[in-house]
């Protein structure tokens, strides 16, 4: 096994390895193989090093993905960053302002769970920032795919918390104190839903190149 730095290993597993798309260090390849679902994307080929020594190396032969020609990566990052930041701020603000609903389990629990996709979303942003123009399947799933899945999770939990707020108000909760909290959760849900629609479109418009030549 070739020596691999911990940073390189972390970057590749996050979908952000920016080296040669055809070959990666063997240690990283072994980590990818543990996930099994990407196994068919790789083949072992015989290569010669600078000293003419023959060795077997893993070579990527899966599909390569790229953004649509009219989709700029910098603007896409910004459009992904803003709703993420908005959702995170609104959810933290909801708990920080200590609304009565935060002490109700069916409001507190989904609102708290909505924070977890936000952290997963941040990892997707970092992977997208580091991803090359030509992405492997793993890089695509860990960047655009991860952001999409995170936005879906944030949307579901935010709307669940919002439904809990409505139930709490209908059951006699203090509307004068709780109404701002309801608006905060509604804002987070709308931002996350907007990100879902945007990245669903981005994901569906990715270009795909099936055959990679070394």
Domains of the chain with CATH codes: 6-64 (no CATH), 66-209 (1.20.120)
Q: What is the mean pLDDT of the chain?
A: 81
CA distance 200 to 158: 19
Spatial neighbors of 151 by CB under 8 A, at least 6 apart, are 83, 117, 121, 192, 193, 195, 196, 199
- CA separation, residue 139 to residues 14, 15, 63, 73, 176 (Å): 7, 4, 11, 14, 47
213 token code pair: 């030549």
Question: Looking at residue 213, what is its pLDDT?
Answer: 54
Lowest average pLDDT, out of 22-31, 55-64, 148-157, goes to 22-31
Lowest average pLDDT, out of 5-19, 29-43, 88-102, 113-127, goes to 5-19
Q: Which of helix, strand or coil describes residue 173?
A: coil
Position 71 pLDDT exceeds 80:
yes
pTM confidence score: 0.76
- Is the distance from CB of 106 to CB of 167 less than 8 angstroms? yes
């Amino acid at each position: 096994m070739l020596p691999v730095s911990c940073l390189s290993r972390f970057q590749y597993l996050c979908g952000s390895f920016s080296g040669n798309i055809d070959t990666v260090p063997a240690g990283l390849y072994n980590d990818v193989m543990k996930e099994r679902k990407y196994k068919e994307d790789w083949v072992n080929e015989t290569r010669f090093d600078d000293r003419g020594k023959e060795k077997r190396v893993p070579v990527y032969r899966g599909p390569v993905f790229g953004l649509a020609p009219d989709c700029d990566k910098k603007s896409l990052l910004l459009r992904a960053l803003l709703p993420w930041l908005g959702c995170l701020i609104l959810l933290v603000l909801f708990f920080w302002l200590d609304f009565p609903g935060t002490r109700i389990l069916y409001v507190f629990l989904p609102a708290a769970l909505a924070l977890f996709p936000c952290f997963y979303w941040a990892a997707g942003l970092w992977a997208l920032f580091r991803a090359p123009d030509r992405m492997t399947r793993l890089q695509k799933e860990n960047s655009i795919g991860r952001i999409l899945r995170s936005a879906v999770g944030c949307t579901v939990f935010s709307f669940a918390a919002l439904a809990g707020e409505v139930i709490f108000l209908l059951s006699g909760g203090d509307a004068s104190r709780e109404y701002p909290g309801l608006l905060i959760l509604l804002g987070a849900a709308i931002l996350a839903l907007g990100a879902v629609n945007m990245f669903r479109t981005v994901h569906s418009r990715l270009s795909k190149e099936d055959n990679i030549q070394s």
